[in-house]
Amino acid sequence: MPRSTGWRRVLTGVLAGLTATVGLTTALAAPARAATTAPVAVTKYSHTSKPGDYIGQGTTASFTPKTATISTGGSAEYVRFRVSTDSTWWDVELAAPQGEKLRPGVYRNAERAAFRTGRSPGLDVSGDGRGCNTVYGQFSVNQIETDADGTVTLLDATYTQHCESATAPALTGVVKYRAYPLSYAYTSDAGDWIGNGHSQTHTGSTSTFSISGSADGIRYGVSGKREDWSASIAPPQGEQFKAGTTYATQRFRGPGVGGLDMGGNGRGCNSSTGELTVTKLALNSDGTVKAFAATFVQHCEGGTPALHGTIHYYA
């Protein structure tokens, strides 16, 4: 029988001391390949406009520092994000309820930012001279950081805006400024004991993440959406993780085989087989893990059904 364990709730991890690697008009650096390569920050903006949406005019748009100047201003109380080129511009304003600061989470029932009332959060997306008189919508903050002066230095958010009416066609967008990927996603085959055939994606707006260890072995945890996940991940005996490497796995590592023990919501494997691909890995100067990204497949108790997952911890 599959074992049952009490997975402990994990605390959020904060990637401290990272230096942004993307300027307002410079290209993104290449993905990290070596274990000691610094994580790469992401700056970009994109939106999709439904037919009939006044702001986006039913089109899509996407910008990176290669194609536009992208900047932020303001504070955690009220942040402004701007994209501009020689021919177009887009502004996104996100505001916390009056008297509060933006934190990771989901902000529903947003009103036009500058004119929000009561305890409502604020949202206002405009572009190329078009703006809403009245806004209905919501947004999610996955990550936000400020400097000592309170100025926003990192932002990762998504939004949905309806202009003039709650039933108006939507404009949806993604806002990233010097942000690092942070998520856990899984798909469970029918019959897989651990995931019970479900699929789910965890991001910073809904979940907390933790990581510890080194290139010799990593502990990883996720808590959110009424779920708790915990993993022990290790390279084969006598080896260290290297980015870009795929390892055959079992529950406990051995010679030539890595260790993968992913459990969730009190369910774990007595034995497992599978595969782990480390796509990115960065270490602090003391050898502890700073950032980690991987994909995995885990079969529990020798069965065919599998748990498939993708990990991004600031990488």
178-227 confidence digits (pLDDT tens): 999 999 999 999 999 999 999 999 999 999 999 999 999 999 999 999 99
Strands 122-127 and 105-112, how do they pair?
parallel
Decide if pLDDT at 277 tops 50. Answer: yes
- Categorize the per-residue pLDDT at 143 as very low, low, confident or very high, splitting at 50, 70 and 90: very high
CA distances from 235 to 175, 216, 221, 247 (A): 35, 6, 18, 7
The whole-number pLDDT of residue 20 equals 30
What per-residue confidence (pLDDT) applies to 37? 64
CB contact at 8 A, 292 and 261: no
Q: Are 276 and 241 in contact (CB under 8 A)?
A: no
Q: Say whether pLDDT at 8 is over 50.
A: no
Q: Which of 65, 101, 71, 69 is nearest to 86 (CA)?
A: 69
Tell me how many degrees the CA angle 246-248-253 measures, rounded to the nearest 5: 115
Query: For residue 70, what are the CA distances in angstroms to 57, 160, 235?
Result: 21, 20, 40
Please name every residue paired with 281 in a beta bridge, in sequence order, or none if there are none: 292
Instruction: Give alpha helix (H) positions in the chain.
Output: none
Where does residue 185 rank: exposed (0-12), middle (13-18), buried (19+ CB within 10 A)? middle
pLDDT tops 80 at residue 1: no
Nearest by Cα to 162 from 203, 115, 209, 109: 109
Tens digit of each residue's pLDDT (9 = 90 or more) over 89-142: 999 999 999 999 999 999 999 999 999 999 999 999 999 999 999 999 999 999
The DSSP output letter for 288 is B
Q: pTM for the full model? A: 0.85
Of the pLDDT bands very low, low, confident and very high (cuts 50, 70, 90), residue 255 is: very high
Mean pLDDT across the stretch 246-270?
Answer: 97
pLDDT at residue 38, rounded to an integer: 74
User: 289-297: long-range contacts (C-beta < 8 A, 24 or more apart)?
Assistant: 289/211, 289/212, 289/213, 289/214, 289/215, 289/218, 290/15, 290/18, 290/39, 290/314, 291/15, 291/32, 291/39, 291/180, 291/315, 292/211, 292/218, 292/220, 293/181, 294/233, 296/233, 296/249, 296/260, 296/262
Q: What is the pLDDT of residue 39?
A: 84
Decide if pLDDT at 4 tops 80: no
| Tens digits of residue pLDDT in 19-70 | 332 322 223 233 333 444 678 899 999 999 999 999 999 999 999 999 999 9
